[in-house]
């Protein structure tokens, strides 16, 4: 089965395949995991983002935590989120706070003008 899959990928590199899919998903998992880890352990990085993102920082942090946790604890190959994922994250992120919604809108160039 693997030999056939690799042959198909070689013959049709432009088509989607399981390895490309796995690379994409694991790339996002890796980026969100490192970002969350840096937010928790690197005070200078956290301060940098707080200064750059201002009022968007808290929502940004919640989005990063949600994406990291959802991708790392997902149990299906097709990365389908369920209501349970949202409920678990809401309970974790808001621990006793009366927040029901995260609103996050960001145009990268507005916050990081050095990047186009």
Q: Spell out the residues 6+ positions from residue 116 whose beta carbon is closer than 8 angstroms to its own.
A: 109
> What's the first-to-final CA gap in the chain, in angstroms?
44
Amino acid 44: pLDDT: 96
DSSP state of 76: S
Locate 56 and state its tokens: 């968007």
* Cβ(67)–Cβ(25) below 8 Å: no
Locate 38 and state its tokens: 């840096």
* Cβ(5)–Cβ(17) below 8 Å: yes
Amino acid 92: pLDDT: 73
Phi, psi (deg, nearest 5) at residue 54: 50, -120
Whole-prediction pTM: 0.69
Amino acid 47: pLDDT: 96
Q: How far apart are CA 14 and CA 48, in angstroms?
A: 40
Write out the chain's pLDDT in tens, 116 residues: 778 877 887 888 788 777 777 788 888 889 999 999 999 999 999 999 999 999 889 889 988 988 888 887 776 666 677 787 777 777 777 776 766 677 888 777 777 776 55
- The Cβ of residue 28 has, within 10 Å, a number of other Cβ atoms equal to 14
Locate 69 and state its tokens: 């946790």
Amino acid 76: pLDDT: 64
């Amino acid at each position: 089965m693997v030999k056939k899959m690799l042959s198909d990928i070689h013959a049709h590199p432009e088509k989607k395949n399981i390895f490309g899919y796995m690379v994409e998903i694991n790339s996002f998992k890796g980026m969100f995991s490192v970002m969350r880890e840096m937010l928790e352990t690197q005070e200078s990085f956290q301060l940098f983002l707080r200064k750059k993102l201002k009022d968007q920082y808290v929502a940004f942090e919640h989005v990063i935590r949600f994406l990291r946790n959802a991708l790392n604890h997902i149990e299906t190959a097709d990365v389908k989120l369920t209501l349970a994922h949202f409920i678990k994250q809401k309970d974790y992120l808001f621990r006793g706070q009366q927040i029901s919604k995260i609103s996050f809108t960001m145009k990268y160039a507005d916050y990081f003008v050095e990047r186009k």
